Amino acid sequence: MTTGIVYHRRYLEHEQTPTHPERRERLAYTMDQFLEEGIFDLDEIILLEPFEADVEDVLEVHTPEYVEFLRRESRKGGIIDYDTNIPVGVFENALLAAGGAIRAAMAVKDGEVDNAFAMVRPPGHHAKPYTGAGFCYFNNMAIMVRWLQKNGFRKVLIIDWDAHHGDGTQEVFYHDNTVLFISAHQMPLYPGTGFPHELGEGDGEGYTINIPLPPGSGDEVYLYVFEKVIEPVVREFKPDFICISAGQDNHFTDPITGLALTARGYAEIMKRAVDLSEELCNGRLVAVLEGGYSVEAALPYTNLAIVTAMAGLDTSNIREPPKYLSELRWRKKEYAGQKARDNIMELIRLHSNYWECFRKYLESLG
Give the residues lining the site for Zn ion (CB under 5 A).
162-164, 247, 249, 291
Residue 291 or 300 having the CB closest to Zn ion: 291
- Contact (Cβ atoms closer than 8 angstroms) between residue 96 and residue 52: yes
Residue 91 or 293 having the CB closest to Zn ion: 293
Residue nearest Zn ion, CB atom distance: 291
Q: Measure the CA–CA gap between 53 and 261, rounded to whole angstroms.
A: 32
Residue 26 or 339 having the CB closest to Zn ion: 26
Please count the CA atoms within 13 angstroms of the CA of 62 that sit on its side-chain side.
35
- Residue 252 CB, nearest distance to Zn ion (Å)? 15
- Residue 144 CB, nearest distance to Zn ion (Å)? 18
Catalytic choice (8, 14, 126, 251): 126
- Residue 140 CB, nearest distance to Zn ion (Å)? 13
- Residue 249 CB, nearest distance to Zn ion (Å)? 4
- Residue 291 CB, nearest distance to Zn ion (Å)? 3
- Residue 285 CB, nearest distance to Zn ion (Å)? 20
Q: Measure the CA–CA gap between 304 and 262, rounded to whole angstroms.
A: 12
Paired with 251 in beta bridges are 261
Residue 149 or 248 having the CB closest to Zn ion: 248
CA distances to 17, 197, 237, 275, 320 from 224, rounded to whole Å, are 38, 20, 19, 16, 22
Residue 185 or 228 having the CB closest to Zn ion: 185
- Give SS3 for 180: strand
CA distances to 95, 140, 312 from 77, rounded to whole Å, are 16, 21, 43
Residue 108 or 288 having the CB closest to Zn ion: 288
Q: Measure the CA–CA gap between 247 and 315, rounded to whole angstroms.
A: 19
Q: Has 175 been annotated as catalytic?
A: no
Q: Measure the CA–CA gap between 359 and 55, rounded to whole angstroms.
A: 43
**Which residues, in sequence order, are CB contacts of 224 under 8 Å at separation 6+?**
337, 340, 341, 344
Q: What is the DSSP string of 31-74?
A: HHHHHHHTGGGSTTEEEE---PPPHHHHTTTS-HHHHHHHHHHH
- Contact (Cβ atoms closer than 8 angstroms) between residue 154 and residue 177: no
Q: What is the DSSP string of 249-313?
A: TTBTT-TT---BB-HHHHHHHHHHHHHHHHHHSTT-EEEEE-----TTTTHHHHHHHHHHHHTT-
Q: Measure the CA–CA gap between 59 and 66, rounded to whole angstroms.
A: 10
Residue 149 or 170 having the CB closest to Zn ion: 170
- Residue 36 burial by Cβ neighbours in a 10 Å radius (0-12, 13-18, 19+): exposed
- Residue 147 CB, nearest distance to Zn ion (Å)? 23
Catalytic residues: 126
